[in-house]
Structure 1
Amino acid sequence: MNVKKLFYKYLSFHSFLINKNNYNNTKLNNLFKGKNIMSHIKPNYFICIPLNDNKIIINELLNIQKFVVSKFDLLNECIIEKEKFHISLLILYVKNKTQIDLSKEAFNEAINEIKKINKKNLYFKSLDTFHNDVLYLSLNEESNDYIILLANIFRKCFEKRNIKIVYNSRKHVNNHKNEPNNKNEPNNKNEPNNKNEPNNKNEPNNKKEQNEQNKITPHLTLMKNSHLSRIYMNRKPKIFPDYYSNFDLTKLLTEHITPNKIQLLEMDIDPKTSYYKIISEFSFS
């Protein structure tokens, strides 16, 4: 019996060492590949536009969730409750109380800038995922540009105070450096530079601004597999395109969201409201 116990202890310890080694190797690989270090830090705050009481939109969002679950019922655990539907603007990692106070300050500064901008209605475009882990609705081009404009105002105010921003963009994660060149495009490597072309001194700043914009994917989250309480075969079940691509979005695409509020929220749930903990809030007039 003692031999058995020793054997099981050995197996457990061996498994622990393997898992730890795999984790360390993965972490090192991510560092060498230049992946976002923030993938190892769990975001805990975010800024969003909560959904208003448009019943048609909410019902259609619930129908999408039901449609996906009908394809794979295990994903029922992944659904976002209708009370929590929102358009994400910025995802944050706030370290301590000092940074919470700075976050409130940054939020208020950004709101003062946003008040100068005309509010726009938001229209949806299509369903997509982040790595088949998070199912979301993207926005049409005009709505997308408006949300990116708001997000960049917040980004500058939070970066100024050294508060970490966690990016979610497919473009940012997939990194365009590995994209093959388009064979149909002419090769301009041997073409001489146009001497008459003005030298844009602001080009580095413009490129930086463009890179920051490419890191943001405005979206409304519908499901995420991080909500799963169990892991199956050491993996989270994925949300594959087959589960949602055939859903008819016609009804949803004719509707729009009129932003009523912008909120700075903690990701923890307030037991009194069953909603995220509200840190700061702005209501459009």
Structure 2
Amino acid sequence: MTENTENTQRQNPVTGPVLVTSGTGKTGRRVVERLAARGLRVRAGSRDGAVAFDWTDPSGWEAALTGAEAAYIAYYPDLAAPGAPEAMAEFGAVARRCGVRRLVLLSGRGEPQAVVAEEALRSSAGDAELTVLRSAFFAQNFSEGALADGVHLGEVVFPAGTTAEPFVDADDLADVVVAVLCGEAGAGEVHELTGPRPLTFAEAVAALTAATGRQVRYVAVTEDQYSSMLIDFGVPDAEADMLAELFTFLLDGHNATVTDGVKRVLGRDPKPFAVFASEAAQDGAWGGA
């Protein structure tokens, strides 16, 4: 990015409204809180909220985007999922018709199929400025996501083997999203976001044990075993297979390196996993010791 481009972004800051898709989700609600704290008009899109937005129902997208100046795009279930490129192409076309000028897309790090969806959005969004945030696994998956119950019960089951992952804090990611949406830094680029160092799942679980005072152990399973477990919990077969295959692929070691993406945008180091674990425990994420 050139100095002239950065100056242009600062001279044309987003003032709102900003659509936040999946506005009650892990990253979306954090982005909503931060934008609102800045006094920006925010539309928190969700299936049942005041601003109706459903990734399975494109008929409502134009109403959510009309008059919006920018949008944060967090696609469910994952940009690598079947149908994601088509959804991104349609979303980009609607955003272009509505005159949205700045888009920030949450993507997955090291996911070739997610890149296909990224390009579908880029191709359809016209002149809109697109920033792509390719994120590592969220630390908050252990406190708010599918792994939280396992931590509470003392056993985290996942198909990660002994591979290390540089878990990124969702608060750091939300700070990056807001900085980019507001044109403060890094807009129009592709950023890979990670935490400060890679940890195996066993090491992450050990940090959770230390933070909670409760013994938590990690149990490695195969792709097929994890898919079967998800199905037993009520996840549809196709989605369970897709997630198990995706996690196994992502945790084969190709994402184990650390990047400086958070620092490049925010000018500070990302939050260590141990700090996340301590803060989450203090906030009662797992119901106390």
- TM-score normalized by the length of structure 1: 0.25
- TM-score normalized by the length of structure 2: 0.25
Question: Which structure dedicates a bigger proportion of its chain to strand?
Answer: 1
**Bigger Cα Rg:** 1
